[in-house]
Chain A
Amino acid sequence: MAEFEPRIVMFCCNWCSYAGADLAGVARLQYPTNTRVIRVMCSSRVQPTFILRALKEGADGVLVTGCHIGDCHYVDSNVHTRDRMEHVVDAMEHLGLEGRVRLEWISASEGPKFRETVTEFVGQIKALGPSPLRDTAE
């Protein structure tokens, strides 16, 4: 059987983490191909229902990324991201989806961190195996 290749949705804010991903690209930092990026202007746009939808529709993991606290292009909007994500991560435990959702701060200059985060998260999801919601997705 082919090795399990997780499918991961990644939300990136336009100013920091998307730019960090761009920088990883410019620097040709290689990382696994499993993530698909959805760009939003600010990580605070990511409402919990998006995450649930992604998981429901077959994602094995969801990675939300934004500017570091203090660096938010929208002053401190990412504080709200943090608060919302705390709830989402908590909820995952109850849904048996522990470890499948993560929030990371990646700045525009952190190409290497972008790579590390993705690489590590892909590894983590690989270890967890396919999402239990996967079957219901089709």
Chain B
Amino acid sequence: MADLIGAVAIAGGGIAGIQSALDLADSGLKVYLIESKPSIGGVMAQLDKTFPTLDCSMCTLSPKLAEVARHPNIEILPYSEIKSISGAAGNFDVTVTRKATYVDPDKCTACELCLAKCPSKVLDEYNEGLTKRKAIYLPFPQAVPRVMVIDAEHCLYLTKGKCGNCKKVCENDAIDYDMKDRDEVIKVGSVILSTGFEPYDPTPLEQYHYEHPDVLTSIEFERLLSASGPSEGHVQLADGTTPKKIAWLQCIGSRNPEIGRPNCSAVCCMYATKEAMVAMEHDPELEATIFNIDVRAFGKGFEQFYQRAKNEKGVRFIRSRPSGVDIDPITNRLSVQYEVEESVETAIEEFDMIVLSIGLTPSESSKKLAEIAGVEMDEYGNIATSIEKPMTTSVPGIFACGTMIAPKDIPDTVADASGAASKAHSVLASERGTLVTERAYPPEKDITGEEPRIGVVVCDCGINIASVVDVPAVVEYVKTLPHVVHAYEQTYACSTDSLDVIKEKIKEHNLNRFVVASCTPRTHEPLFQDTCRGAGLNPYLFELANIREHCAWVHQKEPEKATEKAKEIVRMSVARVALLDPLYTQKLDFSHSGLVIGGGVAGMTAALDIAEKGFTAYLVEREHELGGLLRKFTRLQDGRKTSEVIDPMIEAVMSNPNIAVYTGTTLDEVEGAMGSFKGKLSNGEEIEFGSAIIATGANEFVPEGYFGYGSDNVITQSTLETMLEEGTVDAKTVVMIQCAGGRNEERPYCSRVCCTTAMKNAIRLKEADPNITIYILYRDIRTFGIWEDLYTRARELGVFFMRYTETDEPVVANGTVTLHDKLLHNTPFEIAADLVVLSSPLVAPDGVEDLATLFKVPIDADRFFLEAHIKLRPVDFATDGVFLAGCAQAPKLVNESISQGSAAASRACSILAKDFLETSGVMAVVDEDVCIGCGRCTEVCAYSAPTLKEVEVVTEEITYITRKSEINPAICKGCGSCAAECPTSAITSRHFTTEQISAVIDAFAYADGRVREVA
């Protein structure tokens, strides 16, 4: 067998590829990130805000872009595509065609001099053709890598031999018109496909009149909403006026077998809701209407988001899918005809703008790539995977993730991406670290005894800051502050080239402290700290002054006051940075084992994935058997028995020498922190582990008090599944009631799985007995994505579907179910039912609160565990070293639970794979000389980091034993409570010392900029 190669090729640099790349690179594998466009980022880079949190897409993405750019283990191959793949798992030769950019990336500084001189204008794909760019261009301001590219098709020199302006003006001699496409062979052990999707082009659906300038696709609308878009976030019509009424039309190019696109696109209901909300925030006068078939708000927090949009924000949701858009040829006005809710009538309404919620479609280039890789696709061009191996393609060693497999949103894409990384990592676990480069930093400058020499950059953030705050005035002011040696303005301080500028400035001006006045440290501090390190500065000699979130954005109408405030904010930061000390982390040995709590599919997958990478996994399951919920139902939605999935998995877990399984056991105590957790199990055994994964799943809600549950022949789906397997269903007419006990005040969330489950079971019933009559009563059918197939199949088999509303629920009594149908003029419709099956939601199991307390991790209002960041960290907790997976996070399907299980393992293993653990520099230390041993710190510390130890004090006169406080650096979290409590100021809360904070207070006070002298 050929040697294993500790490198992975990732095709597609969207959020999926980026996440896979970071996980693998952090785990010590070399990554080649191959992206066909000039910049990584994918569609997420084009989005404005993201649902359901309305985070700014670019703000959450750009730190990741920068992280990829500066990761020593990642090599980006932009403007490149895979031409061929040969070899086998562990050892592939991947031939990559690197398209000519005609700009030498090593020479171009993205100074943009060439842009001004290029005469050739081209529709800008980043802005979906709503604006123009030049033939030489940077795809978008935060592009990575940040170098120009020449669009050969439109360059006058390359097409006609004329012009040549860019070469003339480029001072760096970066232009090379003779550059040719070239092939490069890279050697890797595994390949991940993540080339994403293409938005559906609605042109063929002529009835929607996409050619009208005010009929837009949703992705064009995202660009309109975006501050970096064609109209700087001002939503406007083609004639420049502001629309007062906008309609979104859902399922354009989705759920339409007639055009060969039967699947649901899974994200468009939510993004339309988001777009409507954001647009209404821009303009409170705006009327936003969303025409839909079903509102598919199935993910975590989605239903609540939808309800908020509807009930609080006043977004109008109309359950009708207009079949076209009409244009008045005289006025050019747009209108749609729709069915009026709660009536049989239609209405015609005019709108200023119409947004087509277009679906996600596999891109042609993805299909081509899949063919090159030889992996199987489904009939629509999605990569074929199975429920139990959701990221595994038909070719060993080649994995897939993201929207290339099926339409999905960002969090599901990210989970997939970590999952695929886990799979690739497993193949190459033995090769970890063989091909990587240590992140190289220059030796750190010793600044002891130096006067502070402070550099300050004030960021425009494009126009985010500069449109409100007078940035040049702030720069001028900052220059007058004590110790400030150099201050300057920057359009985007966080762009890769700006980071290089910071490094240069530090060197050039011999700076020993640095302040960036820009945005929130919560997202950008690590980036700039790393930059400082790159310039030989200790990262703690850096300070962020937040003049965006805390100033420009919240004082948009008071530019003068905002400018004053910005000056003061920077002044306070300068005062602080002057007093900051270099801090050092400690390298600690730690445990390379992982703990997994919960032995369902998510937990078992996580344990297996950890074990595959050569680490020990402890799997703790409180029941006496592994398997979790999968033991409660009998078939999967693809028709196979659940045992076909669960039995081999249990077998694999039980036989894996790296996994210690504890059934009938719980975890009762935990202490310590990432790297060195100690736990006590209910059997008395003590275990040590470096990281933990919570995969405690969910239970089917017992719908007591709903729809006659408890009376004869009213059961839940899980009972039906058992009866189906036992062949004990004896009914002629079955009624299923969806959302039984869900999507209400007590459980305001959608349980995601029960619509699919109902379809699955209805199909089973029909296939067993075609004469059976089935009515499914629903509020929305949420068979999202590819599961729409099941809904289609159920209708093919003749299942009846009738809608009810939350305010007019069906009534179950004496063997009948009665509901009202507006099309039947609300005449009571009485179904004589032999069996009523309630689709009740998944709920969090008992005991989650205990686990939450043990690990100090949060749970949400619905008792599901709350991840660190809903979009980009779906399986992380804010607490280091603790992860979550599966239904513990929110209800989800088996494939999704498994994907998260792998994802959590990937995240955990990127820690376990390290040789040692680094502590944070931010923590508390005790000055023994001042400590009087009062022990108050031990009382307030939530982690028991300080302990009183006996020390022998030797003075000239006497020697005595006394007690002094000592703080364990591995445990201390740096909250500073002890320092605030200590009566003698013996405790220093590093990076937040009394001195530093006092200096900031003083700087607040002294408008003249007086800064306290450094001691």
On whether the two chains bind one another, the answer is yes
Interface residues of A (CB under 8 A from B): 7, 9, 14-15, 18-19, 21-22, 24-31, 33, 36-42, 44-47, 49-50, 53-54, 57-59, 71-77, 80-81, 84, 115, 137
Contact partner of B549 among A21, A31, A81, CB < 8 A?
A21
CA distance in complex: A36, B1007 (Å): 13
* Interface 1/0 per residue, B996-1010 and A, CB below 8 Å: 011011101110000
In contact, A33 and B1004 (Cβ under 8 angstroms): no
Please determine whether A47 and B521 come into contact, CB atoms closer than 8 angstroms.
no
- When A27-B281, A28-B554, A33-B565 are in contact, do A39 and B521 touch as well, CB less than 8 Å? yes
Q: Which residues does B use to contact A, with CB under 8 Å?
A: 54-56, 59, 281, 520-522, 546, 548-551, 553-558, 561-562, 564-565, 568-569, 572, 856, 858, 878, 922, 940, 942-943, 973-977, 979-981, 989, 992, 994, 997-998, 1000-1002, 1004-1006
Do A26 and B54 form a contact, CB below 8 Å, given A18-B522, A33-B565? yes
Given contacts A28-B553, A54-B1001, A57-B1005, A36 and B568 within 8 Å (CB-CB): yes
| Residues in B neighbouring A22, C-beta threshold 8 A | 520, 522, 546, 549-550
The 7 closest A-B pairs by CB, nearest first: A25-B549, A45-B976, A57-B1005, A44-B977, A75-B942, A42-B975, A47-B980
CA distance A30 to B550 in the complex (A): 10
Given the complex, which residues of A lie within 8 Å of B564, measured CB to CB?
A: 33
Q: List 26 A-B contacts (CB under 8 A).
A: A9-B1004, A18-B520, A21-B550, A25-B520, A26-B54, A26-B59, A27-B281, A30-B557, A31-B555, A36-B572, A37-B546, A37-B550, A39-B521, A40-B976, A41-B976, A42-B976, A45-B989, A45-B992, A50-B998, A59-B1005, A72-B942, A73-B975, A74-B975, A74-B977, A77-B977, A80-B977
| A13, closest chain B residue (CB) | B975
B1004 & A80 in contact (Cβ 8 Å cutoff)? no
Residues of A within 8 A of B977 (CB): 42, 44-45, 74, 77, 80-81
Q: How far is the CA of A49 from the CA of B993 in the complex (A)?
A: 13
Query: What chain B residues lie within 8 Å of A36 (beta carbons)?
Result: 565, 568-569, 572, 1004
Instruction: Decide yes or no: A71 and B858 within 8 Å by CB, A14-B522, A44-B976, A53-B998 being known contacts.
Output: yes
List of A residues within 8 angstroms of B569 by Cβ = 36-37
User: Which B residues are CB-close (under 8 A) to A80?
Assistant: 940, 977, 980-981
A112 CB, nearest partner CB in chain B, Å: 11
Chain A contacts for B55, CB-based, 8 A: 26
Bound form: Cα–Cα A56–B561 in Å: 24
Tell me which residues across on chain A come within 8 A of B1006, comparing CB atoms.
57
Q: Which of A21, A58, A71 contacts B1005 (CB 8 A)?
A: A58
Tell me if A84 and B980 are in contact (CB < 8 A): yes
When chains A and B are docked, how far (Å) is the Cα of A82 from the Cα of B453?
Answer: 39
Q: B858 near A28 (CB under 8 angstroms)?
A: no
| Closest CB in chain B relative to A63 CB, distance in Å | 13
Using Cβ atoms and an 8 Å threshold, which residues of chain A touch B561? 33
A118 nearest CB neighbor, chain B only: B554
Partner of B975, one of A7, A21, A30, A45: A45
Q: Does B989 lie within 8 Å of A25, measured CB to CB? A: no
In the assembled complex, the Cα of A42 lies from the Cα of B997 at a distance in Å of 13
Chain A residues with CB under 8 Å of B521's CB are 39
- Residue among B281, B557, B1004 with the highest chain A CB neighbour number at 10 A: B1004
Q: A40-B976, A42-B976, A80-B980 are in contact. Are A50 and B1001 (CB under 8 A)?
A: yes
Chain A residues near B54 (CB-CB < 8 A): 26-27
Choose among A24, A54, A81 the residue with the greatest number of B CB atoms under 10 Å from its CB.
A54
Complex Cα–Cα for A44 and B974 (A): 11
- Do A45 and B1004 have beta carbons less than 8 Å apart? no
Q: How far is the CB of A61 from chain B (nearest CB, A)?
A: 12
Residues of chain B with a CB closer than 8 A to A24's CB: 549, 554
CB A83 to nearest CB in B, in angstroms, measures 9
Shortest Cβ gap from B730 to chain A (Å): 50
The distance in angstroms between the C-alpha atoms of A73 and B943, with both chains bound, is 12
Would A26 and B979 count as touching, CB distance under 8 A?
no
Known: A44-B940, A47-B994, A77-B940. A33 touches B976 (CB 8 A): no
From B544, which residue of chain A is reached at the shortest CB distance?
A39
Q: Select which of B557, B974, B997 is within 8 A of A50 by beta carbon.
A: B997
| B922 nearest in chain A by CB position | A41
A22 to B551, CA, bound (A): 10
In this complex, the member of B548, B550, B977, B979 whose beta carbon has the largest number of chain A beta carbons within 10 angstroms is: B977
B816 to chain A, nearest CB (A): 45
Q: How far apart are the CA atoms of A54 and B904 in the complex, in Å?
A: 45
B997 and A40 contacting across the interface, CB-CB below 8 Å: yes
Query: A30 touching B565 by the CB < 8 A rule?
Result: no
**How long is the Cα–Cα vector from A21 to B521 in the complex, in angstroms?**
12
Shortest Cβ gap from B444 to chain A (Å): 24
Residues of A within 8 A of B989 (CB): 45
Listed residue (A30, A45, A80, A81) with the most chain B CB atoms within 10 angstroms of its CB: A45
Bound together, the chains give a CA A15 to CA B997 distance in angstroms of: 18
Looking at B56, B281, B980, B998, which has the most chain A CB atoms within 10 Å of its CB? Answer: B980
Q: Is the CB of B553 within 8 A of A25?
A: yes
A71 to B859, CA, bound (A): 10
- Cα-based distance from A47 to B981 in the complex (angstroms): 7
Q: Tell me how far the C-beta of B991 lies from the nearest C-beta in chain A, rounded to whole angstroms.
A: 8
B610 to A: closest C-beta gap in Å: 27
**Residue of A with least CB distance to B572:** A36
Which B residues touch A74, using CB under 8 A?
A: 942-943, 973, 975, 977
Q: Which of B942, B992, B1005 contacts A137 (CB 8 A)?
A: B1005
Knowing that A28-B553, A41-B975 touch, tell me 7 more A-B residue pairs with CB under 8 angstroms: A22-B520, A36-B568, A40-B976, A45-B975, A45-B976, A47-B980, A80-B980
A25 CB, min distance to chain B CBs, angstroms: 3
Contact with B554, one of A7, A9, A30 (Cβ below 8 angstroms):
A30
Point out the residues of chain A lying under 8 angstroms from B549, CB to CB.
21-22, 24-26
The answer to whether B548 touches A25, judged by C-beta atoms less than 8 angstroms apart, is yes
Q: How far is the CB of A43 from chain B (nearest CB, A)?
A: 9
The contact of A47 among B553, B556, B557, B979, by CB within 8 Å, is B979
The smallest C-beta distance from B182 to any residue of chain A, in angstroms, reads 44
A115 to B554, CA, bound (A): 9
